[in-house]
Amino acid sequence: MKEVNNQDPTEETSPEEISAAIQEADTPSQEPAPNKEKELAEQIASLKDQLLRAMAETENTRRRAAKEKEDTAKFAVSNFAKEILSVADNFRRALDAIPKETTGEETLKHLITGVEATERQLLSSLGKFGIKQMTPMGKPFDPHYHRVMMEIEDASQPTGTVVQILQAGYMIQDRLLREALVAVSKGGAVIHKIDTEA
């Protein structure tokens, strides 16, 4: 900026001098531009990168929240379902406890039919909430879904085949709700090594 001369205030300043002084004050200083442009370009690139990362993180957070909400809706009944499974187990135990020779009696026959119908209705109600009983009988032992309680000598079945279900296992949607307690065969052809520790 132009320095103001310490002149006598009574002296007149020409209009040309005033115009030149205003123009000089309004004109930005001419600094070397290339360094400034490079610095601004780097800042813009950095801000774009930060923006893209923030947008990606926001999208990931939104997807996680949606997945958690969906899982909560699907599996909210898990604890309740586990309690109800013991009722289903007791229906099956009641039916299994009836001696085969007494099933011809008319009164007992009606009782058995009633208990079986109640069991079917209970399993159907569980099915409406995505809870299904597993049927591992005759299938190879899977440590992710079964727990071996004992081995039974049976040369007619490959070793590691489920030959008895001691307690039914259940799935809720695509997750294990309760593993099946099973007995597996021993003595037949080996289909795979049995991991009884799982």
Provide the CATH number for the domain around residue 182.
2.30.22.10
CB 184 within 8 A of CB 194: yes
Q: Is the pTM of this model over 0.75?
A: no
Asked if the structure places residue 8 within a domain, the reply is no
Total domain count for the chain?
Answer: 2
Tell me whether residue 1 is in a domain: no
Residue 144 resides in a domain: yes
Q: What is the pLDDT of residues 21-62, one digit of tens each?
A: 666 655 555 555 678 888 888 889 999 999 999 999 999 999
CA angle 140, 75, 130 (to 5 degrees): 60
Residues 141, 119 share a domain: no
Supply 14's token pair: 């020409």
pLDDT above 50: residue 2: no
pLDDT higher than 90, residue 182: yes
151 within domain boundaries? yes
First to last CA, the chain: 84
Domain that holds residue 182: 133-186
Structural domain includes residue 59? no
Q: Does residue 109 lie within any of the structural domains?
A: yes
Is residue 67 situated within a structural domain? no
Residue 100 pLDDT class (50, 70, 90 cuts): confident
